[in-house]
């Protein structure tokens, strides 16, 4: 009996001394890691992995492809990770795969897109910003700056988050706004924005939905026309922030996507280790970056943090 007790005590001592197994967490996003915006999300993911010791993989389709993304989520579920992070740009397309993860007992957190559907699909919480309200605030700000007619440059029509941004912007601006569909190609964006400005001299406001893909090309298009046009964008890039600091652009809306990657992984690692989880959604934005703040943020944007 003494020997058995001694053995049990030794096992307990070893078990106590051994660190908890690292959590396995998979991130499936609709944005590629080489996209300037999503590279910042991935940087947040990697920093959280470093801080928590979790094993984390970042996966995304090669293009904005909901079929491919749903397949990536299904593949992740089959691996039975300790946690799953997803963006939800299209709930109809991705919902069944996310619900399958939840049914399998995998804790799910959504980021970036999907704040309006996340809870219904079974996710524990959402880390991001309310896209409609952020767009509405941007529209009201640009209207207050004297804007009377606008275009909203949407580089991913069909992405619910971007569609909500334009819808909110239109409401906040007062209704006189048109959606300008483009691709993610900055050259195409610049060409289409310039054509829109040249074809309608009453357009005095441009709302872009991505800093490097649409914001910077929109600034270039406005400068090429020689007209006084207020250009604003969602998200940040060093180039667009410099334009704001130089007075060539109005402002940028920062949703702090580094936090979206970092906090979602951190929460799931804490959940795997200790069963901890915040009680509701976590708003990572919006934060309005005007000329007064822009210069301070340029360096952090260039480092892939803002």
pLDDT given at position 204: 98
Q: When comparing pLDDT for 115 and 151, which is higher?
A: 151
User: 30-44, 143-157, 168-182, 245-259 — which is least confidently predicted?
Assistant: 30-44
Check whether 14 has a pLDDT greater than 50.
no
The tens digit of pLDDT for each residue in 223-272 reads 999 999 999 999 999 999 999 999 999 999 999 999 999 999 999 999 99
3-state secondary structure labels for all residues of the chain: CHHHHHHHHHHHHHHHHCCCCCCEEEEECCCCCCCHHHHHHHHHHHHHHHHHCCEEEEECCCCCCHHHHHHHHHHHHHCCCCEEEEECCCHHHHHHHHHHHHHCCCCEEEECCCCCCCCCCCCCEEEECCHHHHHHHHHHHHHHCCCCCEEEEECCCCCHHHHHHHHHHHHHHCCCEEEEECCCCHHHHHHHHHHHHHHCCCCCEEEECCHHHHHHHHHHHHHHHCCCCEEEEECCCHHHHHHHHCCCCCEEEECCHHHHHHHHHHHHHHHHHHCCCCCCCEECCCEEECHHHHHHHHHHHHCCCC
CA 237 to chain centre: 14
Tell which CATH architecture fits domain 2-129+256-275. Answer: 3-Layer(aba) Sandwich (3.40)
Contacting residues for 175 by C-beta, under 8 A, at least 6 apart: none
Mean pLDDT, rounded, for 35-58: 96
Tell me the whole-structure pTM to 2 decimals: 0.81
What is the predicted pLDDT for the residue at 35? Answer: 85
Q: What is the arithmetic mean of pLDDT over 107-129?
A: 96
d(CA 130, CA 90): 15
- pLDDT grade, residue 4 (50/70/90)? very low
Sort 144 into a burial class: Cβ within 10 Å, 0-12 / 13-18 / 19+.
exposed
Structure confidence at residue 60 (pLDDT): 96
- The dotted CATH code for 131-254+291-302 is 3.40.50.2300
Instruction: Enumerate the CATH 3.40.50.2300 domain ranges in the chain, comma separated.
Output: 2-129+256-275, 131-254+291-302
- pLDDT of res. 20: 56
**Mean pLDDT for the chain overall:** 92
Distance (Å, rounded) from C-alpha 274 to C-alpha 261? 20
pLDDT over threshold 80, residue 16: no
Instruction: Report the share of the chain in percent with pLDDT over 70.
Output: 93
| Distance in angstroms (rounded) separating the CA atoms of residues 29 and 47 | 17
Residues present in the chain in total: 306
Residue 6 confidence (pLDDT):
43
By mean pLDDT, which of 26-35, 47-56, 189-198, 212-221 is the weakest?
Answer: 26-35
**Does 283 score more than 70 pLDDT?**
yes
């Amino acid at each position: 009996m003494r020997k058995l007790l001694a053995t049990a005590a030794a096992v307990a001592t070893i078990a106590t001394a051994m660190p908890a197994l690292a959590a396995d967490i998979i991130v499936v996003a609709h944005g590629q890691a080489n996209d300037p915006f999503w590279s910042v999300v991935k940087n947040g993911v990697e920093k959280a992995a470093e801080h928590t010791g979790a094993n984390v993989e970042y996966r995304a389709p090669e293009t904005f492809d909901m079929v491919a993304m749903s397949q990536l989520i299904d593949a992740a579920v089959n691996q039975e990770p300790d946690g799953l992070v997803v963006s939800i740009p299209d709930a109809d397309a991705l919902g069944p795969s996310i619900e399958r993860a939840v049914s399998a007992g995998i804790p799910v957190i959504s980021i970036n897109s999907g704040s309006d559907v996340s809870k219904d699909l079974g996710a524990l919480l959402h880390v991001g910003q309310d896209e409609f309200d952020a767009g509405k605030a941007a529209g009201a700000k640009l209207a207050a700056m004297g804007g009377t007619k606008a275009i909203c440059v949407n580089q991913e029509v069909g992405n619910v988050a971007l569609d909500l941004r334009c819808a909110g912007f239109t409401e906040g601006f007062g209704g006189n706004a048109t959606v300008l569909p483009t691709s993610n190609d900055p050259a195409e964006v610049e060409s289409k924005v310039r054509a829109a400005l040249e074809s309608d001299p009453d357009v005095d406001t441009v709302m872009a939905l991505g800093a490097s893909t649409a914001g910077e090309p929109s600034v270039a298009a406005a400068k090429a026309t020689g007209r006084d046009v207020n250009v604003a964008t969602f998200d940040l890039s060093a180039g667009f922030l410099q334009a704001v600091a130089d007075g060539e652009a109005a402002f940028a809306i920062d949703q702090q996507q580094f936090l979206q990657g970092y906090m979602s992984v951190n929460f799931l690692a804490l959940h795997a280790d200790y069963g901890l989880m915040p009680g509701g959604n976590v708003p990572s934005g919006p934060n309005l970056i005007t000329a007064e703040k822009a210069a301070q943020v340029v360096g952090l944007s260039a480092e892939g943090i803002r």
